[in-house]
Structure 1
Amino acid sequence: MIRATKVLGQHRWTQTPADTIVLDFDDRHRRRMAMTGTRGLEFLLDLENAVALRGGDALVLDDNRLIEVIAAPEPLVEIRGVDPHHLVRVAWHLGNRHLPTQITGKGLRIRRDHVIEAMVQGLGARIIEIEAPFDPEGGAYADAGHASDHGHGHEHAHEHQAHDHHDAHDHASHAHDQDHGGHHHHDEHCEHEHHHGHPHAHDHK
């Protein structure tokens, strides 16, 4: 099977991609994983280190063809505060729980979690249920200089933050080896499945 061993960051490639791969947040942080593009091209993601991919990145195949990464929409909650000071206070509580959080121009975005939503509402914030790609901040453990040639410093802390979050709220873990409706397949590292029904996996270093 042909391999993808390098990653080109957003805006660092112009070649027409040979195929595209649609991945949610968890599946965008892997090191090794068998995948099938939306047009049927099968390949093995085989990176030296786990990399947090973003929508718009490109995976480089052994024959120099490119596979475009598309961030899949996920069930999220957008958090709106009364004012910036209020929103910073809410953000502190989210960070204190090591919860992956995306910062936008209007507020904060997290994945659906009834426990956290109740906490946020208890702090006086408003929540809006949305469907959108999830692209959280990297946190204090971000590593801007990895070996996959990203131009925008992708972060490596997401998988650890996600596990902290699950441990804190007693979320169940489910083993699985199913595929994603023909879009991509998981290897032996698959370990978890979220509430929104989209299988995903983690490949720890």
Structure 2
Amino acid sequence: MIVEKVIANIKDLDPAELEKRHKEKVYLESDHLMKRIQRVETDHGRELGIRLKDPKDLMAGDILFMDEENMIIIDVMSDDLIVISPRDMQEMGTIAHQLGNRHLPAQFEMSDMLVQYDYLVEELLREMDIPFKREERKVKQAFRHIGHSHD
């Protein structure tokens, strides 16, 4: 089976629609969410080809296939993350500036900043006495680098 578009995301479906279908999952590493063409396998051993026509990243919960009885859903494997919890806006601005200078992609959940684990970032946070913890966590979307050059 070749998948060329995402049907919907499970968060947008009526819970009754979700419950009545058998679910297979495709587990992807977060950086594979950006790939428009890839070969994957469901947790039930079914092989799929993904060839997305739209230039859109996959997200956790995206539905690749759905009929009256079955659905195939994207799930994301856990990443090794640094979860930064600044105490105030001053700390948030300071660390955001430092990480921005290193061109590190970040995501935000509530008042936490998430970055992929890097021992240099861990050292920086310790030096700056900014609260953080290292943990395995699933992210909903890929960590995307924003194109930029210093001209």
By the TM > 0.5 criterion, same fold?
yes
CA distance in 1, matches of 2:36, 2:129: 40
- 1:123 aligned residue: 128
Alignment partner, residue 92 of structure 1:
97
Task: Give 5+ residue unaligned stretches, structure 2.
Answer: none
Instruction: Please point out which of 92, 95, 103 is paired with 2:108.
Output: 103
Post-superposition offset of 1:83: 1.8
Q: Tell me, what secondary structure is at the counterpart of 1:52?
A: coil
| TM superposition shift of 1:17 | 5.3
Q: Quick one: which of 63, 78, 86 aligns to 1:73?
A: 78
Amino acid at match of 1:12: D
The aligned counterpart of 1:9 is 9
Per-residue deviation, 1:134: 2.5
State TM-score, norm by structure 2. Answer: 0.77
Query: In the aligned structure 1, how far is the partner of 2:10 from the partner of 2:94?
Result: 32
Gaps of 5+ in 1: 139-157, 165-205
Who wins on radius of gyration, i.e. which is larger? 2
On the 8 A contact 1:34/1:42 being kept in 2, the answer is yes
Aligned-pair Cα RMSD in Å: 2.8
Give the paired residue count.
Answer: 141
Q: Distance in 1 between matches of 2:36 and 2:84?
A: 31
Query: Residue by residue, what CA displacement relative to the aligned partner does 1:44-102 show, whole Å, maximum 9, x if unpaired?
Result: 001114432221111137xxx63101121111111122323212321222233321212
1:12 offset after TM fit, Å? 3.0
Query: Secondary structure of 2:123's partner?
Result: helix
Q: In structure 2, the residue corresponding to 1:68 is in which secondary structure? A: strand
**Amino acid paired to 2:52:** L
1:43 to 34, 45, 48: 48
Tell whether the 8 Å contact from 1:103 to 1:136 is kept in structure 2 after alignment. Answer: no
Runs of 4+ aligned residues of structure 1 deviating over 6 Å after TM superposition are none
In structure 1, C-alpha distance between the alignment counterparts of 2:23 and 2:86, rounded to whole Å: 43
Residue equivalent to 2:88: 83
Could you say which residue in structure 2 is the equivalent of 1:183?
Answer: none
1-side partners of 2:75 and 2:142: how far apart?
Answer: 18
Residues 152-191 of structure 1: CA deviation (Å, up to 9, x unaligned): xxxxxx1xx1898xxxxxxxxxxxxxxxxxxxxxxxxxxx
- Structure 2 counterpart of 1:59, from 36, 45, 64: 64
Contact 2:59 2:141 in 1 (8 A): no
